[in-house]
Amino acid sequence: MRPTSRLLATAVSTGNGLKPAPLAILPPIPLYRRLLRAHRKHLPQEMRLLGDEYIKSEFRAHRTVDNPAHLIGFLTEWQLYAQKIEGDSWKGEKLDPAKVEKMSDQQIAQMYELMQAIKKSREEGDDQAAKRRKTKGNDSSVVKIGDKTISLSAFLAPPPKKTEENPQPVPVENGSISNEGKEGQQKPTHKINEQVSTKRYQNGSNAPSKKAKGERETPMLKARKALPIWAYRDEIKASLRGDNDILLVVGETGSGKSTQTPQFLCEESWCRRKKVRVKSDIVGVGGMIAITQPRRVAATTLAGRVAREMGTPLGTAGEGPVGYSVRFDHKVPKGAKIKFLTEGMLLQELLRDPNLRQYSAIIVDEIHERSVDVDLITGFLKQILLSDKAGRGGIPLKVVIMSATADVEKIQDFFKSNDSPSPLKLLRIKGRQYPVEVKHMDKPVPDIQEALVKKILDIHLHEPLPGDILAFLTGQEEIEAAQRLIEEHCATLASNVPKLLVCPLYGQLSIQAQQEAFQPAKTKYTRKVVLATNIAETSVTVPGVRYVVDCGKAKVKQFRARLGMESLLAKAISKSSAIQRTGRAGREGPGKCFRLYTSETYEELEDADLPEILRNDVLGAVLTMKARGINDFLSFPLMDLPDIEAIEKALIHLYILGALADDGSITEIGRKLALFPVSAPYGRVLLAAASPEFDCLLEVIDVIAVITSGETIFHQIQTEDDSERDAIEEARKELQRREGDILTFLTTMQRYAGENADRIAWCRARRVSVRNMRQALNIRRQLRGICVREKLLAEAPPADPQPFVPLSPERADVLLRCFLRGFATKTALLAPDSSYVTVQGKHVVAIHPSSVLHGQKKEAIMFLEHVFTQKNYAKKVSAIRADWIVEAMGGGAIS
Ligand X SMILES: Nc1ncnc2c1ncn2[C@@H]1O[C@H](COP(=O)(O)OP(=O)(O)OP(=O)(O)O)[C@@H](O)[C@H]1O
Judged by the rule CB under 6 A, the positions of this chain that interact with ligand X are 227, 251, 253-260, 301, 305, 404, 433, 538-539, 541, 543, 583, 587-588
Identity of the residue, 20 or 431, whose beta carbon is nearer to ligand X in the bound complex? 431
R_g of the chain computed on alpha carbons: 30
Identity of the residue, 110 or 541, whose beta carbon is nearer to ligand X in the bound complex? 541
Q: How far is the CB of 386 from ligand X (least distance, A)?
A: 28
- What per-residue string of b and e applies to 611-641 under the rule 16 or more CB within 10 Å gives b? bbbbbbbbbbbbbbbbbbebeebeebbbbee
Q: How far is CA 205 from CA 129, 189, 213, 267, 750, in A?
A: 20, 19, 21, 21, 68
Q: How far is the CB of 869 from ligand X (least distance, A)?
A: 30
Task: Tell me which residue of 741, 699, 710 sits closest to 874, measured CA to CA.
Answer: 741
Query: Residue 111: in which H helix or E strand, if any?
Result: helix 105-124
Identity of the residue, 595 or 653, whose beta carbon is nearer to ligand X in the bound complex? 595
- What SS3 state is found at 155? coil
Identity of the residue, 540 or 656, whose beta carbon is nearer to ligand X in the bound complex? 540
Q: What angle, rounded to 10 degrees, do the helices at 190-198 and 127-136 form?
A: 120
Q: What are phi and psi of 594, to 5 degrees?
A: -100, 110
Identity of the residue, 377 or 792, whose beta carbon is nearer to ligand X in the bound complex? 377
Q: How far is the CB of 254 from ligand X (least distance, A)?
A: 4
Identity of the residue, 344 or 586, whose beta carbon is nearer to ligand X in the bound complex? 586
Q: How far is the CB of 308 from ligand X (least distance, A)?
A: 8
Q: How far is the CB of 590 from ligand X (least distance, A)?
A: 12
Identity of the residue, 541 or 712, whose beta carbon is nearer to ligand X in the bound complex? 541
Amino acid letter, residue 308:
R
Q: What are phi and psi of 688, to 5 degrees?
A: -65, -40
Identity of the residue, 291 or 482, whose beta carbon is nearer to ligand X in the bound complex? 291
Identity of the residue, 125 or 564, whose beta carbon is nearer to ligand X in the bound complex? 125
CA triple 514-518-519, angle to 5 deg: 115
Identity of the residue, 402 or 689, whose beta carbon is nearer to ligand X in the bound complex? 402
Identity of the residue, 137 or 321, whose beta carbon is nearer to ligand X in the bound complex? 321
Q: What are phi and psi of 364, to 5 degrees?
A: -100, 105
Q: How far is the CB of 174 from ligand X (least distance, A)?
A: 18
Partners of 553 in beta bridges: 572
- What SS3 state is found at 501? strand
Amino acid letter, residue 122:
R
Task: Tell me which residue of 144, 142, 146, 119 sits closest to 130, measured CA to CA.
Answer: 119
Amino acid letter, residue 359:
Y
Task: Tell me which residue of 506, 312, 285, 302 sits closest to 396, measured CA to CA.
Answer: 285
Q: How far is the CB of 537 from ligand X (least distance, A)?
A: 9
Q: How far is the CB of 316 from ligand X (least distance, A)?
A: 16
Q: How far is the CB of 341 from ligand X (least distance, A)?
A: 16
Q: How far is the CB of 515 from ligand X (least distance, A)?
A: 11
Q: What are phi and psi of 527, to 5 degrees?
A: -105, 135
Q: How far is CA 241 from CA 206, 362, 422, in A?
A: 19, 15, 11
Q: How far is CA 69 from CA 25, 342, 464, 468, in A?
A: 6, 39, 7, 13
Q: How far is the CB of 464 from ligand X (least distance, A)?
A: 19
Q: How many residues does the chain have?
A: 895
Distance CA 622, CA 666 (A): 11
The sign of the torsion formed by the CA atoms of 720, 726, 730, 733 equals positive
Distance CA 697, CA 681 (A): 15
Q: How far is the CB of 519 from ligand X (least distance, A)?
A: 11
Identity of the residue, 62 or 784, whose beta carbon is nearer to ligand X in the bound complex? 62
Partners of 714 in beta bridges: 768
